[in-house]
């Protein structure tokens, strides 16, 4: 991805872009995005916290260039899963209840210069 002046975008910009795309995609699917980039006070992080009906979604977003050899989902290893799980536990603590139905999803966003992003969701990813 490049900026309007032709300079390449960095990884942070690309990741933020992917999260914006994923949040917009979730809204179009009927979900309400509650929070983006939740960083728990005692460790843990979640890219997007959303609600779809009564179901709470803890979503990890991975952005890749179209044609990448490694899927975004494959980058969500055990260490990353533990970080997301800690963030989810902290969110539920802040919510004050743990009896809410919830799940972990991974949203893969694939980007290619000059084309709209492609989104793929893996429900119940871990």
**Of 6-10, 49-53, 96-100, where does mean pLDDT reach its minimum?**
6-10
What's the chain's average pLDDT?
Answer: 93
Q: What pLDDT sits at residue 115?
A: 94
Nearest partner of 91 among 36, 54, 17, judged by Cα = 36
What secondary structure does DSSP assign to 36-66, as a single string? EEEE-TTS-EEEEEEEETTEEEEEEEEEEET
User: Which pLDDT score is estimated for 99?
Assistant: 86
- This prediction has a pTM of 0.91
Judge: domain 11-122, CATH 3.40.1350.10: yes
Contact 47, 2 (CB under 8 A): no
pLDDT, residue 57, reads 98
Task: Write the DSSP symbol of residue 7.
Answer: P
Domains of the chain, by residue range, sit at 11-122
pLDDT at 85: 97
Q: Token pair for residue 44?
A: 């843990």
109 phi, psi to nearest 5 deg: -115, 125
User: 5 pLDDT band (50/70/90 cuts)?
Assistant: low
Residue 83's nearest CA partner among 60, 55, 106 is: 60
**What CA–CA distance (Å, rounded) separates 120 from 126?**
16
d(CA 119, CA 111): 9
């Amino acid at each position: 991805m490049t900026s309007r002046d032709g300079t390449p975008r960095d990884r942070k910009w690309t990741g933020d872009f992917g999260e914006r795309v994923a949040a917009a995609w979730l809204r179009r699917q009927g979900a309400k995005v509650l929070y983006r980039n939740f960083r728990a006070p005692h460790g843990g992080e979640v890219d997007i916290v959303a609600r779809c009906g009564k179901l709470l979604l803890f979503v990890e977003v991975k952005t890749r260039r179209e044609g990448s050899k490694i899927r975004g989902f494959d980058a969500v290893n055990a260490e990353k899963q533990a970080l997301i799980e800690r963030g989810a536990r902290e969110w539920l603590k802040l919510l004050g209840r743990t009896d809410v139905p919830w799940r972990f999803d991974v949203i893969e966003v694939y980007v290619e210069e000059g084309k709209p992003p492609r989104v793929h969701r893996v429900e119940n990813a871990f």
